[in-house]
């Protein structure tokens, strides 16, 4: 499989152990992640060549963040390390039962937000790539980040590389003066495959469809692909969240007029739900390349995402064989010796 390249910000994540709250903890667990880089890392540790393009401060924190992804096999050689800005952080309190997990972001003015779009020669950066993946978080960070995203997509189109996006609309993030609704359409127009829920499609593109229904998803997908003809496939997970500790997800795929969905998978307890979406698209990229049928690709993606909910940290540390073990119906978690 050819290299998958991702582009986006990597943050340090700081969370109290177990279910402790920030005002009571004396230690924080540290890991690193970002919606795009998580995809590269999940793929790399599954054996898929993957590279991440990011910008880090040239200090111990930036090096530590890059090391974290390198550890799981991501090619970080195309990342920039710049002086004068900071590493974005987020603080996560892990909820339980009816208490939600909460994130306090502290990512303003990061090295990534202050990137120089001209510093990226995308034709060079993508020269070995077969796939480019980005998320809607990246253009939300700064005008420069949005510009670089546009440049990357344009280069990918020139080079004939598949482009995927998780549109992932985060209202609070868009604070640099432009609106997601103005920026995202042009970017999405360059994609072959998007992760998009009915809610995101409404918020970003004004596409109306019933939420949490198969017909809604199909309708949304039809409207989306009509509006953006480059898009061939739309995928999403549907969540039936029972509590902070109990999640149910299924996977949905609309592929050029055909609709597929998986059963719901039950995750109880949820160990760590951060990165659940990233593991879905990384699973789909893997599955798309390794299985004949679209059902299998979707099944792989959905089970990979379900498994991510049982893994600590942002990155989905599961082997393909583990996903396949569940695809074969082994869903009761029986001890493997």
**Residues marked as catalytic:** 278
Select the residue interacting with a copy of itself from 146, 167, 267, 304 (CB under 8 A): 267
How many residues can be counted in the chain?
337
The verdict on 243 binding a copy of itself (CB under 8 A) reads yes
Virtual torsion, Cα 294, 300, 302, 307, nearest 10 deg: 180
Nearest residue (CB) to a copy of itself, 74 versus 231: 74
The dihedrals phi and psi of 89, each to the nearest 5 degrees, come to -125, 155
The C-alpha atoms of residue 29 and residue 107 are separated, in whole angstroms, by 18
DSSP 107-136: -TTBTTTT--GGG--HHHHTTTEEEEEEET
For residues 112 and 57, the answer to whether their CB atoms sit within 8 Å is no
Window of 125-133, 180-188, 218-226, 320-328 that interacts with a copy of itself by CB under 8 A: 320-328
The C-alpha atoms of residue 163 and residue 44 are separated, in whole angstroms, by 18
The verdict on 270 binding a copy of itself (CB under 8 A) reads yes
Q: How many chain residues interact with a copy of itself (CB under 8 A)?
A: 82
Residue 56: which of 33, 15, 88 has the closest Cα? 88
Nearest residue (CB) to a copy of itself, 47 versus 206: 47
The verdict on 213 binding a copy of itself (CB under 8 A) reads no
The verdict on 246 binding a copy of itself (CB under 8 A) reads yes
Strands 265-267, 247-255: parallel, antiparallel or unpaired by DSSP? antiparallel
Q: How far is the CB of 124 from a copy of itself (least distance, A)?
A: 19
Nearest residue (CB) to a copy of itself, 229 versus 332: 332
Nearest residue (CB) to a copy of itself, 95 versus 320: 95
Q: How far is the CB of 251 from a copy of itself (least distance, A)?
A: 14
Residue 228: which of 286, 283, 298, 165 has the closest Cα? 165
The dihedrals phi and psi of 49, each to the nearest 5 degrees, come to -60, 130
The verdict on 118 binding a copy of itself (CB under 8 A) reads no
Window of 146-154, 201-209, 251-259, 328-336 that interacts with a copy of itself by CB under 8 A: 328-336
- Scanning residues 45 to 64, which ones bind a copy of itself (CB under 8 A)? 45, 59-61, 63-64
């Amino acid at each position: 499989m050819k290299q998958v390249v991702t582009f986006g910000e990597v943050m340090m994540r700081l969370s109290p152990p177990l279910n402790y709250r920030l005002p009571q903890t004396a230690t924080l667990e540290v890991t690193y992640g970002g919606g795009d880089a998580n995809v590269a890392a999940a793929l790399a540790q599954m054996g898929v060549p993957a590279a991440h393009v990011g910008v880090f401060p040239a200090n111990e924190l930036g090096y530590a963040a890059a090391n974290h992804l390198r550890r799981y096999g991501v090619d970080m050689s195309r990342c920039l390390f710049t002086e004068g800005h900071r590493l974005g952080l987020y603080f996560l309190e892990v909820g339980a039962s009816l208490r939600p997990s909460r994130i306090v972001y502290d990512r303003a003015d990061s090295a990534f937000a202050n990137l120089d779009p001209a510093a990226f020669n995308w034709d060079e950066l993508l020269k070995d790539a077969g796939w480019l993946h980005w998320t809607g978080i990246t253009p939300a960070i700064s005008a420069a980040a949005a510009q670089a995203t546009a440049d990357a997509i344009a280069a990918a189109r020139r080079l004939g590389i598949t482009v995927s996006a998780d549109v992932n609309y985060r209202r609070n993030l868009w604070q640099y003066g432009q609106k997601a609704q103005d920026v995202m359409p042009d970017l999405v127009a360059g994609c072959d495959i998007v992760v998009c829920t009915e809610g995101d499609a409404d918020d970003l593109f004004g596409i109306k469809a019933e939420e949490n229904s198969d017909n809604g998803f199909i309708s949304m997908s039809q409207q989306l692909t009509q509006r953006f003809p480059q898009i061939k496939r739309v995928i999403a997970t549907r969540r039936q969240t029972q509590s902070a500790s109990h999640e149910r997800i299924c996977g949905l795929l609309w592929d050029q007029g055909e609709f597929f969905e998986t059963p719901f998978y039950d995750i109880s307890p949820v160990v760590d739900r951060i990165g659940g979406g990233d593991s879905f698209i990384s699973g789909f990229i893997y599955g798309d390349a390794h299985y004949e049928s679209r059902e299998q690709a979707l099944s792989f993606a959905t089970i990979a995402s379900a498994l991510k909910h049982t893994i600590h940290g942002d990155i989905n540390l599961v082997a393909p064989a583990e996903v396949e073990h569940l695809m074969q119906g082994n869903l009761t978690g029986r001890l493997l010796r």
